[in-house]
């Protein structure tokens, strides 16, 4: 076990440079190995034992080649969920009494092992959720960062806390874990967010029932296998994939559940928040909900911005990973003085976007996660047409197998229009023209969400005003609104974007702890 003096300061995991042929060759080898291994077989893990699911099995598919089954996973029943909660509750006593150093070491071990096999994890995401090489590598790097960062943060919270001294007493404040937590991660960052939510809860002394997303059980199983390998005690992490309506609701509503950590849509998140607010029979606490619920994010390009830089940033933020990021730019606000010049440079870049299976290194845009997701995007595109928005790029499916959709751009979008208001979670961008900085700020804030945003300008006075007036949890100046780094950009949003959890920040672990003040008379 590492001692505190041996632990180096946190630094972010570097991204792989795939322009180096040695790195590209290694990744192609990992892709080939992954393809030969399909389907990945996932089973429940309850009380330290693999189990078949009481509700049968389900499969995940390659979005760019849906005929390919990527994973076959056991499907939990309500009874399985009840067993998982009971087992996690039983395991809590011993796990919560372990030192922060002991718990952190499991995360450090997992980070070291994942770093050695990072291409294997990334390759799985290329096939299972349609990430490009760079997007998949970034996901794995972020997962490693979460393990490293939260392990160090747990040690910080375990240290002696500053208390104002007073004569005649010895006082201290300690942080203790909550109990059993339910972790419900999304499919779009199926490793990074899953690892971050789970690791934060575990390292603070809680036990976890993990219900992975139904579109990405394969990568979740790989993480589970990693935690088995590093020796995590049985019962501390329960793996319970299954339907949200059956398993998810059972876990959220159970009186032994102490907290729910969720990332997903606003609709589902609000439902969890409502269910968690009810106190079941025998429940003696109010459940905490840590929720990140998506966004309708903006990039505002002002009249004095660097257009070349803004064009590249907008393309990456709007269409990276098919726009399937809660931080993706779906609302582009252009000052009228640079609107035409911007679009003249931007549209050729959109048209040149390479589309195809993400296993091919040169492809930027892959398929959307499933048919339902693409159908929702197409419905939004049709609504935009009916409302008089101008389709200037894309808007069509791509022929052949896979749930491909062209990168799509609409201009002339009004603030009451469908694609301005609704989160499509797709490569669809709404462009809105404004006549002033003030109007741009008003348009940026015109949303029920408040996750990320970006403002481009060379005017220092307006940049300072933007810091105060643009209302979102993560605001970026003169750079794109995606690409938050652990420790650098604590992540979480306002309003219906969630509880502003600030994942990857110094406040995050506090969400899984409670403070206990202890006084002793001298």
Catalytic residues: 292, 326
E strands, 158-239, are 169-177, 180-184, 207-210, 237-239
DSSP, collapsed to helix, strand or coil, labels residue 436 as coil
In this structure, the number of other CB atoms found within 10 A of the CB of residue 6 comes to: 7
d(CA 53, CA 81): 10
Nearest to 350 by CA among 413, 420, 431, 424: 431
d(C-alpha 253, C-alpha 272), whole Å = 9
For residue 515, the cross-strand partners are 175
Contact predicate 389/411, CB 8 Å: yes
List Cβ neighbours of 65 (8 Å cut-off, separation of 6 or more): 357, 401, 402
Residue that is written with structure tokens 């946190």 in the block: 10
Beta carbons within 10 angstroms of residue 173's beta carbon: 13
Reported residue count of the chain is 522
What torsion do the CA atoms of 179, 182, 188, 190 make, to the nearest 10 degrees?
70
Distance of CA 403 to the CA centre of its chain: 22
Q: Could you give the CA distance from residue 201 to residue 141 in angstroms, rounded to a whole number? A: 20
Residue 46: C-alpha distances to residues 93, 166, 246, 372 (Å): 17, 48, 17, 31
Which residues are bridge partners to 520 per DSSP? 170
């Amino acid at each position: 076990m590492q001692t505190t003096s041996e632990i180096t300061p946190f630094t972010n995991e570097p991204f792989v440079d795939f322009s180096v042929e040695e790195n590209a060759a290694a990744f192609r080898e990992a892709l080939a190995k992954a393809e030969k291994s399909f389907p990945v077989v996932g089973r429940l893990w309850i009380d330290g034992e693999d189990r078949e699911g009481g509700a049968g099995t389900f499969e995940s598919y390659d979005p760019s080649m849906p005929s390919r089954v990527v994973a076959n996973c056991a499907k939990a029943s309500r009874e399985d969920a009840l067993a998982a909660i009971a087992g996690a509750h039983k395991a809590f006593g011993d796990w919560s009494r372990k030192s922060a150093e002991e718990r952190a070491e499991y995360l450090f071990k997992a980070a070291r092992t994942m770093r050695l096999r990072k291409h294997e994890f990334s390759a799985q995401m290329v096939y299972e959720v349609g990430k490009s090489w760079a997007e998949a590598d970034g996901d794995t790097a972020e997962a490693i960062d979460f393990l490293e960062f939260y392990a160090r943060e747990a040690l910080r919270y375990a240290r002696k806390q500053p208390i104002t001294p007073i004569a005649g007493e010895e006082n201290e404040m300690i942080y203790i874990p909550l109990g059993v937590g339910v972790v419900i991660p999304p499919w779009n960052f199926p490793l990074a967010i899953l690892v971050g939510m789970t690791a934060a809860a575990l390292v603070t002394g809680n036990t976890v029932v993990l219900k992975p997303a139904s579109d990405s059980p394969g990568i979740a199983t790989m993480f589970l296998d990693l935690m088995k390998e590093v020796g995590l005690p049985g019962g501390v992490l329960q793996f319970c994939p299954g339907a949200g309506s059956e398993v998810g609701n059972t876990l959220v509503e159970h009186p032994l559940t102490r907290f729910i950590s969720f990332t997903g849509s606003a609709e589902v998140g609000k439902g969890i928040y409502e269910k968690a607010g009810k106190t079941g029979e025998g429940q003696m606490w109010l459940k905490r909900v840590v929720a990140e619920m998506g966004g309708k994010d903006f990039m505002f390009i002002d009249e004095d911005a660097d257009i070349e830089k803004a064009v590249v940033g907008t393309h990456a933020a709007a269409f990276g990973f098919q726009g399937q990021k809660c931080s993706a730019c779906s609302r582009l606000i252009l000052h009228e003085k640079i609107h035409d010049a911007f679009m003249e440079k931007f549209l050729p870049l959109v048209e040149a976007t390479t589309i195809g299976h993400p296993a091919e290194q040169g492809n930027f845009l892959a398929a959307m996660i499933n048919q339902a997701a693409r159908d929702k995007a197409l419905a939004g595109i049709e609504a935009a047409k009916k409302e008089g928005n101008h389709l200037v790029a894309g808007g069509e499916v791509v022929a052949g197998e896979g749930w491909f959709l062209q990168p799509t751009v609409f201009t002339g979008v009004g603030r009451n229009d469908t694609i301005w208001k609704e989160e499509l979670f797709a490569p669809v961008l709404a462009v809105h023209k404004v006549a002033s900085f003030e109007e741009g700020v008003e348009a940026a804030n015109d949303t029920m969400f408040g996750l990320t945003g970006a403002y481009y300008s060379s005017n220092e006075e307006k940049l300072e005003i933007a810091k105060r007036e643009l209302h979102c949890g993560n605001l970026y100046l003169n750079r794109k609104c995606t690409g938050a780094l652990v420790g650098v950009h604590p992540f979480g949003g306002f309003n219906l974007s969630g509880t502003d959890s600030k994942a990857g920040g110094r406040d995050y672990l506090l969400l899984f702890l409670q403070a206990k003040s202890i006084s002793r008379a001298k």
